[in-house]
């Protein structure tokens, strides 16, 4: 099996796993990954993560022009913004996961640091997550908002919409966005219970000892 075929299969297997566990439903969510020739494989517009066809994935060249497959997701400006501003980005995933969306709606959520420091894993895999304001789905302004971060964040949360995470490869990006949703769920479950957060010293130790895997960013 060729490298391109392997990547196509991996994208579809990971997307179906996210769908089967309820992390994005219906025809929501989108995913992309770098190909060996510098182009992208992208989930087509209007498709379900549970039923992606490896042979119909959108194949874009290095300039983001469609060269094969179905038309790509309308959220391409989001994906392009991460690829253009973070040179190590090898994949981008966007979900409509329930707990992270719920947390984005709460009034006292910190826009500069969306996830509270509850576990070391979110810090290692995500760093600080930026909460962006609400945009109409498909609005190119979402991509411009990511570009405005100048590559400083590997993950953003679109208010009332869903998370977007970049990683060095498609598996790393999927693992990181699952960590984002798990941490948001913990934040909702412990809300109002005064949970013990990680201290600043503990956070700094985690950051200083985390390997540079391309999914974390500085706090």
Q: For residue 119, give both structure tokens.
A: 């576990």
Catalytic residue among 3, 9, 64, 75: 75
Q: Which residue, chain included where needed, has tokens 């209007």?
A: 46
Torsion of CA 75, 168, 25, 11, to 10 degrees: 100
Torsion of CA 200, 160, 158, 40, to 10 degrees: 130
Q: Verify whether residue 134 is a known catalytic residue.
A: no
Q: Verify whether residue 75 is a known catalytic residue.
A: yes
Catalytic residue among 9, 121, 144, 204: 121
Q: Please identify every residue annotated as catalytic.
A: 75, 121
């Amino acid at each position: 099996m060729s490298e391109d075929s392997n990547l196509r299969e991996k994208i579809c297997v990971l997307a179906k796993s996210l769908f089967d566990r309820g992390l994005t439903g219906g025809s929501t969510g989108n995913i992309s990954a770098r190909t060996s020739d510098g182009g992208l494989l992208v989930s087509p517009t209007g498709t379900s993560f549970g039923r992606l066809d490896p042979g119909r994935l959108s194949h874009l060249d290095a300039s983001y022009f469609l060269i094969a497959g179905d038309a790509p997701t309308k959220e391409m400006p989001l994906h392009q913004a991460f690829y253009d501003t973070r040179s190590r980005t090898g994949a981008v995933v966007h979900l409509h996961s329930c707990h992270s969306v719920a947390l984005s709606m709460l009034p006292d959520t910190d826009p500069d640091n969306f996830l509270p420091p509850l576990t070391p894993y979110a810090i290692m895999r995500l760093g600080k997550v930026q909460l962006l304001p609400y945009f109409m789905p498909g609005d190119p302004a979402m991509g411009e908002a990511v570009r405005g971060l100048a590559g400083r964040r590997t993950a953003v949360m679109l208010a009332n919409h869903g998370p977007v995470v970049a990683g060095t490869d498609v598996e790393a990006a999927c693992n990181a966005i699952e960590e984002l949703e798990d941490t948001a769920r913990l934040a909702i479950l412990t809300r109002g219970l005064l949970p013990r957060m990680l201290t600043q010293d503990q956070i700094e130790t985690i950051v200083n000892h985390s390997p540079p895997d391309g999914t974390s960013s500085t706090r």
